[in-house]
Amino acid sequence: MKLFVIGATGRTGEEIVQQALARGHHVTAFVRSPEAVTLRHERLGVLEGNVTDEEQLSEAMQNHDAVVSALGPRRVFKPSSLLHDSALATIHAMQPSGVRIGLSVLSCEIICAIRLPWKKSCNIAVSIGRSLVLRVSHRNNT
């Protein structure tokens, strides 16, 4: 499978890239700062881009089977529209590029850090891998 990973330089994104490569997948890391990608692997490609630019995303995700977004806030309490804007751009870019599978993953540490009422469920997630799948969408382009 050929995976397109957004947010590959964060802790969750790095883990996704490493696990995908370990399972034999090809990975393209779509990042703001290519120099921040320290992992080198024959099945890893790195593309620089803007996650809110629909056209860049669409061109970059051509010939991929799935998109995995591991974007998260750099500062938990700093207001930002980055996650919203990048999610919209990603969804809109998927259709013309032919990608039909999209995952969005958020680190459990971020959820627990803001002290939400379901913190106990985070403890379970932490013990099984430190991340929660928040949304899985299968795009049907018919």
Q: Where are the domains of the chain?
A: 2-138
Q: Read off the pLDDT of residues 54-63 as tens digits, 9 standing for 90 and up.
A: 999 999 999 9
Distance separating alpha carbons of residues 103 and 12, to the nearest angstrom: 13
Distance separating alpha carbons of residues 127 and 67, to the nearest angstrom: 25
CATH of 2-138, one of 1.10.1040.10, 3.40.50.2300, 3.40.50.720, 3.40.50.1980: 3.40.50.720
Q: Read off the pLDDT of residues 14-66 as tens digits, 9 standing for 90 and up.
A: 999 999 999 999 999 999 999 999 999 999 999 999 999 999 999 999 999 99
